[in-house]
Amino acid sequence: MTGSADGVTTVEFFGVPGAGKSTIARHLIERLVATGRPVSEPTYTLAHQVSSARRYLSKSGYAAVGTARRPRPALSSARAIAESGQLSRRALVKTTFNWLYVVGVLESRTAGELQVLDQGLAQAAWSVGLGAERDRTAPLCELAVNALSRSGPALVVVVDVAPETVRERLSRRADGDTRVTPTGEGHDVSEAFEHKKRIERSIADVVADKPSVGLLRVENESKADLEDAVGAVLERVETEQRRS
């Protein structure tokens, strides 16, 4: 990975719902804050710590920033999402909006700050493809990696977990806020994992030509795995910072 004055500038997590992306991100933030490094977690904050109205306004602001600063990539992204054949107009609007929002988050990073995204562009590409009529994985993953590369040295953390563990975790979710369900309603867990594999392969292909973006795989089956995952990400971030 090509270094900068601050090493890694963006860490984003990718995995199926229930993999524990937000949990790992939260623990990572706590460890990073303890080191004194400036760090933000905009996607987690908006998803978990603000009201619905404020969340929508903030996401709209980020989407506007991303579109204004990078109009051509924004248009290419919107076109690729439209070509994927979303199952409804609402799904098309939602997935496009979410993509532009995350791009805006990347574009709004404060210099010297490390962004930790529990829901980044790899996850947005996964969301677009889940249930779509046509596979636009390759162009979307290329756009995702390009956007990450523009933000500075970045790290995509792939969170691995067993399907059985995901089913058990999703069954305990009180809010039901997921497109994947263990009950057969909506998209099932097997479909989620199959599409995750497609995204992983495509991201890996693009990253091979983008030395500023790295990949790291971690497991999150248990509390011990959680600690190991956080430690592995922190070690990678600190290693890249020493190299810069």
Give the pLDDT band of residue 184 (cuts 50, 70, 90). low
Three-state DSSP state, 20: coil
Write out the E strands in 130-236: 154-160, 213-219
Q: What order do you get walking across the sheet with 114-117 strand by strand?
A: 39-40, 114-117, 10-14, 154-160, 213-219
Here the CATH number for the domain that contains residue 32 is: 3.40.50.300
**Which residue range(s) make up the domain with 131?**
10-49+113-243
pLDDT tens digits for range 32-76: 999 888 999 999 999 888 888 899 999 999 999 999 999 999 999
pTM over 0.85: yes
Residue 59 lies in a domain: no
Q: Which residue has the higher pLDDT, 244 or 114?
A: 114
The answer to whether residues 179 and 98 touch, using CB atoms and an 8 Å cutoff, is no
Residue 127 lies in a domain: yes
Residue 56 lies in a domain: no
Would the pLDDT of 143 be above 90?
Answer: yes
Residue 102 lies in a domain: no
Residue 171 lies in a domain: yes
Rounded to 10°, the helix 189-207/137-151 angle is 60
Least confident of 1-5, 140-144, 167-171, 192-196: 1-5
Residue 91 lies in a domain: no
- What is the chain's Cα-based Rg? 17
Provide the domain count of the chain: 1
Residue 80 lies in a domain: no
Average pLDDT, integer, range 69-97: 96
| Main-chain phi, psi angles of 157, to 5 degrees | -100, 115
Residue 104 lies in a domain: no
